[in-house]
Amino acid sequence: MNSTLSPPLPSPAASPWWQPHVHQDRRPFLLGRNRIQQAFRGFFAGADFVEVDTATLQVSPGNEAHLHAFATEAIAPDGGRTPLYLHTSPEFACKKLLAAGEARLNCFSHVYRNRERGPLHHPEFTMLEWYRAGEPYAVLMQDCGKLLALAAESAGRPILSFRDRQADPFLEPERLSVTEAFDRYAGIDLLASLSPDGRQTDAPRLAAALVAAGLRVASDDTWSDLFSRVIVERIEPRLGIGRATILDEYPVIEAALARPTVHDPRVAERFELYACGVELANAFGELTDPVEQARRFAVEMDEKMRVYGERYPVDDDFLAALAHMPEASGIALGFDRLVMLATGASRIEQVLWAPVAETRR
């Protein structure tokens, strides 16, 4: 008997995406994707944006504590090896282009995030980012409203939908601060757990507020853990129902790349766009102080080391560029997610022309 092991049989649970009958089911979503992307390119070109294409390989994949990158290395002709990463966002490169003199730019970029796979997550996906030099970040909110409507028009559907939730893309998005959302949906005074400058947090005080609101608390929860639990369990499911929601003014400690608001140093010029309970976009009034940015990156990487036992390098070239970067506003939108909502797809793989192979232990 031949002792060579036979290759494992494919799982009967699902057919490969390339089989003709599977492709025919996905094809309407994919053609909708192409129409939306073409319309978006026309929108940005009509507003005098320059479309750019940035490198995927970077010396740093980004410095947010809970983002996980794919690592690789460059091998020089002499055999020398340098660690590199697939970027989690084109943000650093786009901001360098702002420093170089571009005033309005947009970018459709494939980005890569490890430890992420599910109905709304994929290890490789398309991020649409755009930046406006010298313009307030409230203008990005107007952009979001226009793009939601344009996506629906291009897909030929009058509504955005995901599972049993819907949102009218032609209505002006609701604007709600994070502080208001904590009070409205959890009965929690968020700002009471922040110091006057926003840099120090009071985790025990926030934990007590969560207990009073009926939320679970663990003995080792950090302030950020508690903050995220309220967002995920009480706030996110209620956002973007009926119409889109702009969740605005995050605490500075939860906005590592955004500048503080002029009226309250505890909160930052950061908003997230939601529709049908799904996070679609993350926007900043951009921080341009390289010293403060370096401090925030250090805090994020210390937290990454504490939780995951690793840290990513800081792109010193990015910090140098910040010193030359003009005041600007920028936003990153999960393009595939918006296509899902506009076309009525139920899983992100349905709107990806060639999904990444399934990986299992």
**pLDDT per residue as tens digits for the range 207-228:** 999 999 999 999 999 999 999 9
- pLDDT score of 204 more than 60: yes
pTM given for the model: 0.93
At 7, the pLDDT band (50, 70, 90 cuts) reads very low
Top pLDDT among 115 and 361 is at 115
pLDDT at position 12 over 90: no
Band (13; pLDDT cuts 50, 70, 90): low
pLDDT, tens only, 155-169: 999 999 999 999 999
pLDDT digits (tens, 9 = 90+) for 34-49: 999 999 999 999 999 9
Q: Mean of the pLDDT values across residues 129-149?
A: 97
Q: What is the pLDDT of residue 361?
A: 59
What are the residues whose beta carbons fall under 8 Å from the beta carbon of 118, sequence distance 6 or more? none
CB 329 within 8 A of CB 287: no
pLDDT computed for residue 359 by the predictor: 80
When pLDDT is cut at 50, 70 and 90, the band that residue 149 belongs to is very high
Q: What is the dihedral of CA 304, 310, 315, 318, to 10 degrees?
A: -10
Binned at pLDDT 50, 70 and 90, residue 8 comes out as very low
Closest-CA residue to 318 (of 287, 339, 344):
287
**E strand residue ranges, 15-69:** 50-51, 57-58
Mean confidence (pLDDT) of the chain = 94
Task: Specify burial of residue 128 (Cβ count, 10 A radius: 0-12, 13-18, 19+).
Answer: buried
Number of alpha carbons in the 13 Å side-chain half-sphere of residue 81: 5
pLDDT in tens, 270-326: 999 999 999 999 999 999 999 999 999 999 999 999 999 999 999 999 999 999 999
Q: How far apart are CA 119 and CA 355, in angstroms?
A: 12
pLDDT at 11: 44
**Burial category of 232 from C-beta neighbours within 10 Å (exposed 0-12, middle 13-18, buried 19 and up):** exposed
- Report the C-alpha gap between 333 and 287 in whole angstroms: 19
Q: Decide if pLDDT at 9 tops 50.
A: no
pLDDT band at 98 (very low <50, low <70, confident <90, very high): very high
